[in-house]
């Protein structure tokens, strides 16, 4: 069947099977390989994208379910001039990634968090990111980056 959705502001269409996962459509049909598949069992969060403004695990949503939806992936996070968004820049500034595999999901989850809670506490950040696993265990700096992206002072946070 044919699906059409807005991806990072552009209308995109493609043929999918009933079983095609949203993440496969993004990666394999649209070649948007920024969204990663880590566990493929809904645990790790590397595949988090926004669907109609909400964070979802794209490995656990059918592409057909996203027909007509507004989808945002990590490729759509940079500013219009190509410079990094505030959240992405904070990840770079605070070394919020080691191997980088979980980063797309972390960035998308962080963006969803800051949209609903612009000044989260450290505990709220850690709680919100519980569906995103960093197997380098680089959580301290990820949390620090999210706190910094929210405009808060991070000089006393984590990464002892």
Q: In whole angstroms, give the CA distance from residue 7 to residue 73.
A: 7
Q: Which of 41, 83, 137, 155 binds other proteins (CB under 8 A)?
A: 41
Residue 54 sits in the site that holds other proteins (CB under 8 A): yes
Residue 42 sits in the site that holds other proteins (CB under 8 A): yes
The structure tokens listed for 99 are 């191997």
Count of residues of this chain found to bind other proteins when the rule CB under 8 A is applied: 28
Residue closer to other proteins (CB basis): 71 or 113: 113
Q: Which of 23, 74, 106, 112 binds other proteins (CB under 8 A)?
A: 112
Q: In whole angstroms, give the CA distance from residue 33 to residue 23.
A: 9
Residue closer to other proteins (CB basis): 15 or 79: 15
Residue numbers of the site for other proteins (CB under 8 A)?
1, 17-19, 21, 40-43, 45, 48, 54-57, 60-62, 64-65, 67, 109, 112-113, 128, 130-132
């Amino acid at each position: 069947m044919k699906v059409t959705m807005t991806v990072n502001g552009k209308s995109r269409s493609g043929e999918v099977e009933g079983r095609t996962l949203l993440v496969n459509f993004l990666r394999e049909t649209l070649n948007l390989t920024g969204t990663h598949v880590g566990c493929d069992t809904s645990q790790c969060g590397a595949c988090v994208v926004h669907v109609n403004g909400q964070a979802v695990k794209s490995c656990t949503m059918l592409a057909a379910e996203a027909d007509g939806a507004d989808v945002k992936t990590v490729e759509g996070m940079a500013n219009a001039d190509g410079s990094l968004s505030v959240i992405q820049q904070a990840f770079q500034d605070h070394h919020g990634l080691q191997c980088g595999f979980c980063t797309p999901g972390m960035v998308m989850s962080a963006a969803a968090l800051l949209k609903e809670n612009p000044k989260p506490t450290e505990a709220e950040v850690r709680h919100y990111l519980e569906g995103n696993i960093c197997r380098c265990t680089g959580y301290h700096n990820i949390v620090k980056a999210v706190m910094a992206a929210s405009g808060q002072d991070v000089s006393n946070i984590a990464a002892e």
